[in-house]
């Protein structure tokens, strides 16, 4: 029997078009699902859906369990009469192609608060049930957000009063009493988010579209997760984070990458049968059909750097949990589907772990064109012709240049070699590259929407190890998903016999 193959589009919901400064879970998200269905595309991949903090990165959320309140559709709240059109009268002039998170937050959060206040004026049994089911994270998250605003979004472990930072029970009890309304509001916003997202997911599933979600391996140091569960991380004698994560130096970054996320106390987690991880995976998996785990190689071993270091040069490799974690996941969540982001410095031990789990790994097409002595290395594992079936193939990820941006930064010799490889000219080169990817043996082919639209690096989603205000801000404009693009994506699917 011939292997069945599928395709999908990578587009984070924040990048959807719309009039409210950021992509939302309203009509444009449904329109995008319709676009996928019309082009016979079966998967929509997102980045992590958690609420973002400093730097606006979805890979450094305030909570691993909560949803991003900024994605809540104001139009849907208007339809439900929780706010009115008048509440949007003082809307800033937003750049349609880029998110300004500072302006957005100052304008949108008060409107969401008003919607939540109006929602609370009437009894709602679904909401009370939602609180009951999700109390395991709502109690802590709502307190964390109230305290974050009290301290102007400054870090809990360095600025908050010790009684709050150390979670003294009397202080938290008083907070629950004095700020009960604000705490309830943050719970309502989570109810809004998950109600809208799960309704959208059902719409997609009913159309034959599956959602590929994403979960970072680490959590943000300034997050509800570290505040409510400090013992899960490596701490020094004074209770401070002792080591942080990153990547070792390489040819792209001579000082390495200093991510700054606290590292896990894997020994303690193993004794608890990885209960926090099991809960984390199972809850995030409810929001998607397949779950991509970021930085999979870190579960075999991870780059550990002493807290307070200025760069990642002097880190060391520490052992991760290995297969024992995934054995527990398979035991407790047997039907979950997982994709392993197995990029970076991959060793034989990482490959062994991937084989043990049998999760599909990833291939990045632009990594495949390796020039050696004036020719491409045809045995490069990232060339589409070399992909095994149990693979998810991409032109690039959210961290890479766009396909056009990558091509534009190559020298003339490389460009000519690529044109010769595909026996084409510059006008057709991107069509050839995409068709080559779609025609590979990989079970899944996922391309960023920017590459389908053939956009240059102005549309790049993120540049790692930078704090550019360009990161995470790109947005799709409404007229970009036109009939021409629809026909082209349909052609790619039909020609490569994906989703048929």
Cite the active site residues. Answer: 294, 341, 399
* Nearest alpha-carbon partner for 222 in 160, 293, 139: 160
Is 455 within 8 Å of 404 (Cβ atoms)? yes
User: Which residues share a beta bridge with 6?
Assistant: 444
* CA atoms of 51 and 196, how far apart (whole Å): 15
Which DSSP helix (H) or strand (E) runs through 259?
strand 257-262
What is the edge-to-edge ordering of all strands in the sheet holding 316-319? 257-262, 243-247, 301-306, 316-319
- Cα angle 14-19-23, degrees, rounded to a multiple of 5: 10
* Neighbour tally for 42: CB within 10 Å: 20
Cα 211 to Cα 36, 41, 214, 312, 446: the distances in Å are 11, 11, 10, 35, 12
* CA atoms of 145 and 147, how far apart (whole Å): 5
* Nearest alpha-carbon partner for 59 in 375, 327, 406, 298: 298
Only one residue has tokens 């309502």, namely 188
CB-based contacts of 331, cutoff 8 Å, min separation 6: none
Cα 8 to Cα 39, 40, 325, 488: the distances in Å are 10, 9, 29, 14
């Amino acid at each position: 029997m011939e292997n069945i193959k599928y395709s999908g589009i990578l587009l984070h919901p924040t990048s959807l078009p719309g009039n409210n400064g950021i992509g939302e879970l309203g009509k444009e998200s449904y329109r995008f699902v319709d676009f996928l269905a019309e082009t016979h595309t079966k998967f929509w991949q997102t980045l992590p859906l958690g609420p973002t903090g400093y730097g606006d990165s979805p890979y450094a959320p305030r909570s691993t369990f909560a949803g991003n309140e900024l994605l809540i559709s104001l139009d849907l709240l208007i339809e439900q009469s929780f706010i009115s059109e008048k509440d949007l009268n003082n809307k800033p002039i937003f750049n349609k192609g880029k998110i300004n998170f500072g302006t957005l937050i100052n304008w949108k959060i008060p409107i969401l608060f008003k919607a939540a206040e109006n929602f609370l004026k009437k009894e709602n049994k679904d909401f009370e049930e939602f609180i009951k089911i999700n109390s395991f994270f709502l109690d802590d998250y709502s307190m964390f957000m109230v305290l974050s605003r009290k301290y102007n979004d400054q870090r809990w472990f360095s600025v908050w009063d010790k009684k709050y930072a150390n979670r003294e029970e009397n202080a938290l009890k008083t907070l629950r009493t004095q700020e009960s309304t604000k705490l309830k509001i943050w719970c309502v916003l989570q109810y809004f988010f998950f109600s809208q997202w799960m309704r959208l997911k059902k719409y997609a599933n009913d159309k034959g579209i599956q959602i590929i979600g994403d979960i970072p391996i680490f959590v943000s140091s300034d997050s509800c997760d570290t505040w409510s569960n400090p013992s899960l991380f490596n701490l020094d004698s004074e209770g401070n984070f002792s080591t942080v994560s990153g990547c070792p130096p390489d040819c792209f970054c001579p000082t390495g990458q200093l991510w700054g996320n606290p590292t896990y106390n894997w020994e303690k987690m193993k004794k608890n049968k990885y209960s926090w991880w099991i809960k984390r995976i199972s809850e995030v998996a409810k929001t998607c059909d397949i779950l991509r785990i970021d930085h999979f190689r870190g579960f075999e071993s991870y780059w550990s750097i002493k807290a307070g270091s200025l760069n990642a040069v002097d880190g060391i490799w520490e052992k991760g949990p290995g297969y024992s974690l995934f054995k527990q996941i398979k035991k407790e969540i047997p039907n979950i589907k997982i994709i392993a982001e197995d990029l970076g410095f991959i060793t034989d031990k990482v490959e062994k772990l991937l084989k043990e789990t049998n999760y599909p790994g990833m291939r990045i097409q632009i990594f495949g064109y390796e020039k050696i002595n004036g020719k491409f290395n045809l045995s490069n594992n990232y060339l589409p012709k070399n992909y095994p079936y149990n693979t998810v193939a991409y032109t690039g990820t959210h961290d890479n240049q766009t396909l056009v941006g990558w091509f534009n930064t190559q020298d003339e010799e490389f460009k000519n070699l690529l044109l010769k490889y595909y026996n084409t000219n510059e006008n057709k080169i991107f069509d050839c590259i995409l068709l080559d990817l779609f025609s590979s043996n990989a079970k899944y082919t996922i391309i960023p929407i920017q590459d389908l639209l053939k956009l240059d690096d102005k549309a790049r989603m993120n540049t790692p190890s930078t704090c550019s205000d360009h990161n995470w801000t790109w947005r799709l404009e409404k007229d970009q998903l036109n009939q021409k693009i629809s026909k082209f994506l349909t052609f790619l699917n039909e020609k490569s016999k994906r989703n048929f």
